[in-house]
Structure 1
Amino acid sequence: MNNIKEEKFLAAKEAVKHVETGQVVGLGTGSTAYFAIAEIGEMIKSGLRIKAIPTSSQTEDQARSLGIELVSVDDVDAIDLTIDGTDEFDDNLNLIKGGGGALLKEKMVARITKKQVIIADSSKKVDVLGVFMIPVEVLPFTVNYVQRRISELGGAGNIRMKEGKHFLTDEENYIIDADFGEIEDPYDISDKLNNIEGVVCNGLFLDLADVVIMGTEDGIVTFEK
């Protein structure tokens, strides 16, 4: 296991200590969340009983294979705990997410979560958001329009492709990865993106994380609000 994978694994091992029997647990998407879900699967074998809400078809498949009981986000009023990864985070625990393409459901789950625990390797910590481009999920028929509007806001929008075709989210929307450089005011950028017709969701997750657990080569570092 290389250093980055080891850091992700350490963060995941620490995060699952928050999981308790009887909880409704949100399961994130991505390479770091994968380790946490695998650990929860081992806890299920030892008697843990939870109901879990996956944030993507990929996560759903993994959770089912581990015997984790699943429910829909529409079946609950609140989620006790969510463990998810991030593409980057700053000192205010604001995040950019959506590199895996699951930002819509990830944000919905985060909105109704009582405790959002984010896990990350040490490469994800930044002084100012914007090293990672902001994923913007859009309705397919609006993609060129939204791309132009992003340009008018001072950004550069790149339509995400996969194997020569438009990348499709689980909801069959497209994603534009928007580069604004260093983001001095993420709240302003988020509001402006949300006001563009055709935008379904953007990858700025502001004031949603309660804890960030970061794995490092020296162990765990925890950031809390």
Structure 2
Amino acid sequence: MDDMKKLAAKAAVKLIKNRSILGLGSGSTVSFFIKYLIKRKKEGLDVRCVSSSKKSSYLAKKGGIKLLDIKNVKKIDIVVDGADEIDKDKNMIKGGGGALFKEKILIEFSKKVIIIVDETKLVDKLGRKKLPVEIIPFGAKFVFEKLKKERFKGIWRVCKKNNFITENGNFILDIFLNKLLDNPKKIHDKIKGIVGVVETGLFCDVNPKVIIGREEGGVDIW
């Protein structure tokens, strides 16, 4: 699977233009992208980045890539990110690494979005993976019960026997979707409308360029 991820990452790096400001997503495929981006930088590519996670920040900074504070950035040229699932309409489930809120901010305000995945992430309809939902800790129990009443059952993500805490200081509830999604946007809106929910891992209406690493070699581009 790593070989497919590397193929997608290499193809994405070739699309990065000089003097770009990049938004870095998170996840294993993005880690490969950062590795190849560092190589291009050493060959003379001038890029600066805004990162969605500590891990991506660490990898980029270690490789000599200049990181920017988002409050000092006037534009983001391209965001490069991965996905846990992506359907034929380019709707996605993301957030397996817990950085979904920051990823969504970068994507929302970027001129272009590139999603890099291996072919195992392609699905006809979303819903096989658990759906991450970021929730404010204050009153989280009530939000959990409200979601249950709306037939969204899930489990709190844990880390070392404690609640997993996002970089924003929030909890993650991983929801089991009881059926494949015909209308992901409708589900997103329903969950997001509950007070205490910060964001869902459903990414709809993004219309990214999708680069898919294939098992037989090479990539497909949607």
Tell me the TM-score normalized by structure 1. 0.95
| Mapping 1:146-161, distance limit 5 Å | 146-161=143-158
Indicate conservation of the 8 Å contact 2:214/2:220, yes or no.
no
1:28-54 residue CA offsets vs partner (Å, 9 max, x unmatched): 101110000010011111111111011
TM-aligned CA deviation for residue 157 of structure 1: 1.7
Match 2:35 to one of 35, 38, 43: 38
Q: Name 2:208's counterpart in structure 1.
A: 210
* Counterpart mapping for 1:76-95 below 5 A: 76-95=73-92
| Pairing 1:187–2:215 present | no
Contact 2:12–2:33 (Cα < 8 Å) also in 1 = yes
1:132 aligns with 2:129: yes
- Report the CA distance between 1:219 and its aligned residue: 2.4
In structure 2, what is the equivalent of residue 198 of structure 1? 196
How far 1:74 moved relative to its partner?
2.3
**What's the counterpart of residue 51 of structure 2?**
54
Q: Map of 1:93-104 to 2, 5 A cutoff?
A: 93-104=90-101
Question: RMSD in angstroms over aligned alpha carbons?
Answer: 1.2
Cα distance in structure 1, aligned partners of 2:6 and 2:36? 9
In 1, distance between residues paired with 2:54 and 2:11?
25
Unaligned runs of 5+ in 2: none
TM-fit CA distance, 1:141: 1.8
SS at match of 1:208: coil
1:120 alignment partner, SS class: strand
Quick one: distance in 2 between partners of 1:135 and 1:158?
10
3-state SS, counterpart of residue 18 of structure 1: coil
Matches of 1:149 and 1:14 in 2, distance apart?
A: 43
1:58 counterpart SS class: helix
| Pairwise CA distance, 1:11 | 0.5
Gaps of 5+ in 1: none
Q: TM-score, normalised by structure 2?
A: 0.96
Segment of structure 1 superposing worse, 210-219 or 79-88: 210-219
Equivalent pair of 1:118/1:209 in contact (CA under 8 Å): no
Cα deviation, residue 214, structure 1: 1.0
Q: Does 1:109 align with 2:106?
A: yes
Q: Does 1:19 align with 2:16?
A: yes
In structure 1, C-alpha distance between the alignment counterparts of 2:149 and 2:219, rounded to whole Å = 39
Q: Which moved more, 1:152-161 or 1:101-110?
A: 152-161
Is the 2:143–2:197 Cα contact (8 Å) retained in structure 1? yes
